[in-house]
């Protein structure tokens, strides 16, 4: 579900990533307007928990997961920013592409790199919704990224341990 306007190619790339790793049949929902109460003028960012609540309220009853995608810069009070957020073992996940863009850091835009980073963060947050915790393998999609360099150190895939755990959890919970 796009939150506000999200470029079509980012939505399509997200759907490709989902079907590659998860037994889900993605369908796109109409964009959810950004909840005005999420805006934090003093930080110049959007509050992630408010968006997560709006996603939960908009989640169709038949959805195995609801993944929200936003171009907005998101944060929670404790952290200066988030690449994404997810319910642990719950249906709701959120990914922000704001800090996955090279131009956020004053660099030349790199579309392929953006799509690669997006795939990693989509896998990471959907992994949490499937009960996966952070992984110590820096190449695994489930490793914690506190800055974009650590996103780049990851692969857009799960390590053998997380991958088999994911399959077990997906098959034991009917998705």
Residues in touch with Zn ion (CB under 5 A): 135, 137, 140, 142, 159, 162
DSSP structure class, residue 44: T
CB of 142 to Zn ion, least distance (A): 5
Cβ proximity to Zn ion: between 101 and 120 the closer is 120
CB of 109 to Zn ion, least distance (A): 26
Q: Crossing angle, helix 111-129 and helix 8-21, to 10 degrees?
A: 50
Which are the catalytic amino acids? Answer: 125
Cβ neighbors of 65 (< 8 A, separation 6 or more) are: 22, 24, 91, 92, 93, 126, 129
Cβ neighbors of 94 (< 8 A, separation 6 or more) are: 3, 48, 51, 52, 55, 67, 68, 69, 70, 74, 84, 85, 86, 125
Cβ proximity to Zn ion: between 39 and 116 the closer is 116
Beta bridge partners of 32: 3
Identify the residue whose tokens are 């169709």: 60
Cβ proximity to Zn ion: between 12 and 133 the closer is 133
Cβ proximity to Zn ion: between 31 and 90 the closer is 90
CB of 44 to Zn ion, least distance (A): 24
CB of 96 to Zn ion, least distance (A): 13
């Amino acid at each position: 579900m796009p939150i506000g306007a999200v470029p079509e190619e980012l939505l399509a790339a997200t759907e490709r990533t989902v079907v590659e790793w998860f037994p889900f049949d993605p369908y796109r929902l109409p964009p959810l307007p950004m909840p005005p109460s999420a805006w934090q003028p003093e930080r110049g960012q959007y509050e992630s928990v408010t968006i997560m609540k709006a996603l939960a309220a908009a989640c169709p009853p038949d959805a195995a997961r609801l993944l929200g995608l936003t171009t907005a810069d998101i944060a929670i009070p404790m952290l200066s920013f988030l690449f994404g957020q997810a319910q642990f073992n719950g249906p709701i996940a959120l990914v922000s592409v704001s800090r996955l863009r090279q131009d956020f850091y004053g660099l030349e835009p790199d579309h392929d790199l953006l799509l690669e980073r997006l795939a990693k963060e989509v896998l990471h947050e959907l992994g949490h919704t499937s009960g996966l915790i952070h992984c110590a393998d820096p190449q695994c999609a489930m490793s914690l990224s506190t800055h974009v360099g650590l996103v780049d150190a990851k692969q857009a895939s799960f390590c053998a341990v997380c991958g088999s755990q994911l399959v077990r959890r997906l098959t034991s919970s009917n998705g």
